[in-house]
Amino acid sequence: MDFEALAMEGGFARPVLEAQSAFRALMDALARPGTSMAGFPVPGPPAPLSPEAGAVALALCDPDTPIWLDAAMREENAVAAWLGFHTGAPIVAHAAEAHFAFVADPGDLIGLENFAQGSQDYPDRSATLVLQVASLEGGPALRLAGPGIETERAIAPRPLPRHFARQWEQNNARFPRGIDVLLVCREGLIGLPRTVRIHQQEG
């Protein structure tokens, strides 16, 4: 593995405090699905890993959490090297072995069923997908409902994995198993825990 300075720089400037702030934002995002969290500190990872996705990695990943990278992330060696240096997490080739997936190109993502879904006994042994979207607006309108949402919430991120609403319905059907999703972009961070229900508005 090539260990250019690129891979070793760009960690959190104040690792403990900044990782805690990022963790707080993540916790809020998952407690209030669909609400965009912003203003948390971000590191400077090598492209195409975004600063917001990098913050998620530094807050949540460690040597016990294997990471899967999509093709766009894999293309740049520095991404795996940066994650390895700053989190210690191993990079795995098989999606099913990963606890976290970092996805630079959500529109091209493999089916959600390819990731670890957890077991009936240990539903926590499932993958969390971090999808780098271009924007939290301008995509197909999605209506969210479920725990953490009083009535209903509307979001329209883009791009999303193909047939996302239908795939999510299948994800719901596997409950308590199933994956969780974090959408990240410049504007902030949105959590989609497996408990959230998603309806795509027609037209």
**CB closer to other proteins out of 63 and 138:** 63
Instruction: Read off the DSSP letter of residue 148.
Output: T
Enumerate binding residues for other proteins (CB under 8 A): 1, 3, 5, 7-9, 11, 15, 62-64, 81, 84-86, 88
Q: What SS3 string covers 73-133?
A: HHCCHHHHHHHHHHHCCCECCCHHHCCEEEECCHHHCCCHHHCCECCCCCCCCECEEEEEC
**CB closer to other proteins out of 64 and 150:** 64
β-strands 153-155, 180-185: how paired?
Answer: unpaired
Minimum CB distance to other proteins, residue 35 (Å): 30
Task: For residue 69, give the nearest of 98, 107, 47 by alpha carbon.
Answer: 98
**CB closer to other proteins out of 8 and 71:** 8
Report how far residue 176's alpha carbon sits from residue 104's, in angstroms, rounded to the nearest whole number. 27
Minimum CB distance to other proteins, residue 10 (Å): 9
Minimum CB distance to other proteins, residue 165 (Å): 35
**CB closer to other proteins out of 81 and 155:** 81
Please, how many CA atoms are within 13 Å of residue 117, restricted to the half-sphere of its CB? 16
Minimum CB distance to other proteins, residue 44 (Å): 12
Minimum CB distance to other proteins, residue 6 (Å): 11
**CB closer to other proteins out of 7 and 22:** 7
